[in-house]
Chain A
Amino acid sequence: AQKVTQAQTEISVVEKEDVTLDCVYETRDTTYYLFWYKQPPSGELVFLIRRNSFDEQNEISGRYSWNFQKSTSSFNFTITASQVVDSAVYFCALKGSGYSTLTFGKGTMLLVSP
């Protein structure tokens, strides 16, 4: 069975602060994929990143960065210099090999105040 845990239900920060969203996963697959999605108040789910289990390199995209550590089964997401537009619910998700579907965490609501 696959499981994704996002222990932080809600995080509040002030603009320009850095914030890290935690994600811990469980899977028996040796090949798997990890994802982060953003869901702003409008409701659509925006794809942010996919990482496969064989690629542990950290990734940076603008103010966003991701830290994948297989040793701790974690795939954490950091926003640097947060902005009000970053306010959203962020979901971490896990997909096994083959034609399996996504298992989502419960999401972390990020509130960035001016």
Chain B
Amino acid sequence: SAVISQKPSRDICQRGTSLTIQCQVDSQVTMMFWYRQQPGQSLTLIATANQGSEATYESGFVIDKFPISRPNLTFSTLTVSNMSPEDSSIYLCSAIRDVNNEQFFGPGTRLTVL
């Protein structure tokens, strides 16, 4: 298994500002992902964070709004840019070590945008 930590655990932000969420895994992993969970909803994949290259975004998500970095095999960041109240969600980092392993999740970052 992999232990995933996220910072911050929660934040309240003002409209128009940006927040960077950090994700740290306790061991090297093959793939890292970022999900969004809007209130009362299921998890939606934002993007796959690729080490050393641009992230792969899902339909409906763009790099300008959700820039992602992954400088090494254990760390990634997600920035939520120019926030609006609609961005209020839980943002979860996830990782798998190899194709046969379970996909593990961080504890999530609860974001509230006023």
The interface size of chain B toward A, counting residues with CB under 8 Å, comes to 21
- Chain B residues lying within 8 Å of A102, measured Cβ to Cβ, are 43, 45, 94, 103
Is B42 a contact partner of A44 (Cβ separation < 8 A)?
A: no
* Docked CA distance A27–B104 (Å): 22
- Report which B residues bind A (CB closer than 8 A): 30-31, 33, 41-43, 45, 48, 90, 92, 94, 96, 99, 102-108, 110
Is B105 a contact partner of A50 (Cβ separation < 8 A)?
A: no
Is B102 a contact partner of A50 (Cβ separation < 8 A)?
A: yes
Interface SS of A by simple majority:
loop
Q: Residue A101 at the B interface, CB < 8 A?
A: yes
The interface size of chain A toward B, counting residues with CB under 8 Å, comes to 19
- Report which A residues bind B (CB closer than 8 A): 35, 37, 42-45, 47, 50, 91, 95, 97-99, 101-102, 104-107
